[in-house]
Amino acid sequence: MPDRIHVWIQRFKDRPNLMLQWIDPDTGRRRSKSTKTSDMEEAEQQRSDHEYELNNDLYHDRSTLSWERFREIYITEKFGGAPPNTLSKVETVFADFNSRMKPKNLGAVTERTFSGYATKLREAGRAPASIHGNLAYLKAAFRWAQDQGLIHRMPKIIMPKLPKGTNKVKIRNASRITVEEFERLLLKAPNNGWKMLIAFAWNCGMRRCEAMAVRGRDIDLKAHTIDIPKNKARDEGATVFVTPELDALLRLMFPDGIPDGPIIHGIPKSEKEVSRDFVDKISSKAAVKGNSKDGWATLHDLRRNFGSRWMLKVPAQVLRRMMRHSDINTTLDFYADAEKAAMDVIWQKTEE
């Protein structure tokens, strides 16, 4: 068991205020802290309080608390019991900030540090919404540090401006397409090929080229997986998960068993033609709004909607696999808008 730390009061002839002193058990060196008073009674109260903090791991010097230790304290105390995807995002932001800026300790992080971080993210091609989202998480962390007395003043963080209307459009169309709207799209589909294309995008987040490559022998309903063969958009194949809803639809459409050959028939081969026909002949007729230039849903909106639904249930690393993103930053950018909107709500009253 480590020795108890003892704090004593020291008076120096050349200083008006009394000082608290103790021996740092990690370094063996004498440490000092001003009481900011010459009154012995007040100093004694501070001595007693400070000794208790040191012996119960409640005191953290702003100049010496390592960045890694701060990360550990913040995540443990603030996010204990948080959903896995939330915890994963916080850890990813901290890891990215540490990798790019390499802060040694909490006190070393200043306004210039955050400005440099935002610059590096822009140079790396990160979207404004993604930069805004990362800074919002860090801003929340430093506000917490200030509230906990770990820092006296949190650095000012200048948030980047987002293109007008960016948030509202993406959030509405990516995450709020309802099950009822999806069913309307199926009803307006002119044939079973279109129905399968829509179902693959909605239930698996498949891209058009991925869905077109699927054959019956690639589907394993017992294992709940679909193997996507190598295609022009991918250097190698991939595996997606079959949801219970897609399983039910496949069994309904193929009551005698899924044939071995291609699943999707009766739709144009041209990507542009498929995209145009979906908007003109299906989503507009079903009155499902989205991100097309005419305001109707696109096939990509269904893929984004799939990711938006599952990001509430799984960590970023799992979502990356489900969306088949080659880079984790693409996954984080995918729902940065939703995170930005959440942060706006969380901090609105505080900043007002």
Task: Let me know whether 154 and 180 are in one domain.
Answer: no
Task: Let me know whether 151 and 178 are in one domain.
Answer: no
Rounded Cα distance, 64 and 153, in Å: 16
Task: Let me know whether 39 and 72 are in one domain.
Answer: no
Task: Let me know whether 295 and 185 are in one domain.
Answer: yes
Of residues 306 and 235, which shows the higher confidence score? 306
CB hemisphere CA count around 182 (13 angstroms): 22
Token digits of residue 153: 């003043």
Where does a domain end: 130, 163, 196? 163
CATH code at 190?
1.10.443.10
Task: Let me know whether 299 and 279 are in one domain.
Answer: yes
- The predicted-structure confidence for 267-284, as pLDDT tens digits, reads as follows 988 888 998 999 999 999
Task: Let me know whether 217 and 283 are in one domain.
Answer: yes
Where does a domain end: 106, 131, 163? 163
Q: What is the mean pLDDT of the chain?
A: 82
The pTM (predicted TM-score) of the whole model is 0.51
| Domain region containing 78 | 67-163
- Encoded amino acid at 4, one letter: R
Rounded Cα distance, 265 and 90, in Å: 44
5, exposed or middle or buried, with CB in 10 Å at 0-12, 13-18, 19+? middle
68 phi/psi in degrees, rounded to 5: -65, -40
Task: Let me know whether 152 and 31 are in one domain.
Answer: no
Query: Which are the contacts of 1, defined by CB distance < 8 A and separation ≥ 6?
Result: none
- The predicted-structure confidence for 38-80, as pLDDT tens digits, reads as follows 999 999 998 998 888 878 766 655 556 888 988 988 888 887 7
Task: Let me know whether 96 and 49 are in one domain.
Answer: no
Task: Let me know whether 284 and 191 are in one domain.
Answer: yes
CATH code at 95?
1.10.150
Number of domains, the chain: 3
Rounded Cα distance, 349 and 327, in Å: 35
- Encoded amino acid at 258, one letter: I
Q: In b/e form, how buried is each residue of 158-197, taking b as 16+ CB within 10 angstroms? A: eeeeeeeeebeebbebbbebeeebbebbbebbeeebbbbb
- The predicted-structure confidence for 324-349, as pLDDT tens digits, reads as follows 887 776 777 655 555 555 555 555 54
Task: Let me know whether 205 and 292 are in one domain.
Answer: yes
pLDDT at residue 146 tops 60: yes
Angle between helices 192-204 and 244-253 (to 10 degrees): 170
Task: Let me know whether 159 and 180 are in one domain.
Answer: no
In a domain, 351, yes or no: no
Rounded Cα distance, 166 and 282, in Å: 25
296 phi/psi in degrees, rounded to 5: -100, 160
In a domain, 339, yes or no: no
In a domain, 23, yes or no: yes
Enumerate the β-bridge partners of residue 66: 105
